[in-house]
Amino acid sequence: MSNEQKNYLKKIKRQKIIIILVQILIVVLFFLIWEMLANYNLINEFVFSKPSKIITTIINLIVTNNLFNHIFTTLYEIIIAFSLGIILGFIIAIILYEFPILAKIFDPFLTMLNSLPKVALGPLIIIIAGANIKSVIVMALLINLIVSIITIYNGFSNIDENKIKLLDSFKATKYQKLTKLIIPASYPTIISSLKLNISMSQIGVIMGEFLVSREGLGYLIIYGTQVFNLSLVMSGILILIIISFVLYKLVVALEHILLKNK
């Protein structure tokens, strides 16, 4: 390795470290400013709470053995909805790609379903699935599935036609074209779908928990609102942000693995 390459790699490493440190600094400053504004009554502490109260609330939830049960419930629902959304979305996208006539038939229906506010279906979902965890997962699945189908299908449709014609000239079967070209070439789009899906799944789960759940972070937030415990509400929101960050990083790690093995 030449000195120029070594210097370049060192520069990239330094940039990554600087970015991480700046991000940490931004978070620390945000909480410090928030705490100071609340202490000096520049913001309404009852409405916005403050970091010290939120930490105390989280500690109390841990002591009473309530916190991890709520986190586990929400994570379980997110993972189930996310997995179902990606698997079903991937399969349906392949079917639509392989049968263009079906894609043309269902295109307007997918568009309409994607634009429909899923919370409007909440009462119907509760009646059909019951006021339980099934309704939460169905709500999240309705939100993430259509997005996954559309995103993955568009990725398949944008493959270079010349590459497909090249495989056709070698008498490649549909299965070979799909596994050797279409899917590998669509890895960036599939990863984008994963990132969207994990966000949509979390949104759907929290919406479902708002409606029917008796446990989970969504329920914790609603309960805190009902008893006017805004520190409990902010604690639930903060934990959700942390979960979002961790899940996003897991998807990014998967992205590196897929693109590395491409």
* CB-based burial, 168-198: b 16+ in 10 Å, e otherwise: eeeebeeeebbeebbbebbeebbbbbbbbbb
Q: Please, what is the average pLDDT of the chain?
A: 89
- The per-residue pLDDT for range 164-201, each reduced to its tens digit, is 888 888 888 888 888 888 988 888 888 888 888 998 99
pLDDT digits (tens, 9 = 90+) for 64-112: 877 888 999 999 999 999 999 999 999 999 999 999 999 999 999 988 8
The first and second tokens of residue 36, run together, are 């100071």
**pLDDT value of residue 257:** 81
Higher model confidence: residue 51 or residue 256? 51
Alpha-carbon distance of 223 to 241, in angstroms, equals 18
The yes-or-no verdict on residue 224 having pLDDT over 80 is: yes
CA dist 153 and 253 (Å) reads 23
Residue 152, pLDDT score: 93
At 261 the three-state DSSP class reads coil
In degrees and rounded to multiples of 5, residue 50 shows phi and psi of -160, 160
Q: Evaluate if pTM is beyond 0.85.
A: yes
46 with 221: CB under 8 angstroms? no
Q: Output phi, psi for 214, to 5 deg.
A: -115, 5
Which residues, other chains included, contact 216 with Cβ-Cβ below 8 Å and sequence gap of 6+? 70, 73, 74, 77, 136, 205, 209
CATH number for region 50-260: 1.10.3720.10
Contact 139, 211 (CB under 8 A): yes
Residue 1 pLDDT greater than 80, yes or no: no
Q: Hey, is 5 helix, strand or coil? A: helix
- For residue 131, the 8-state DSSP code is S
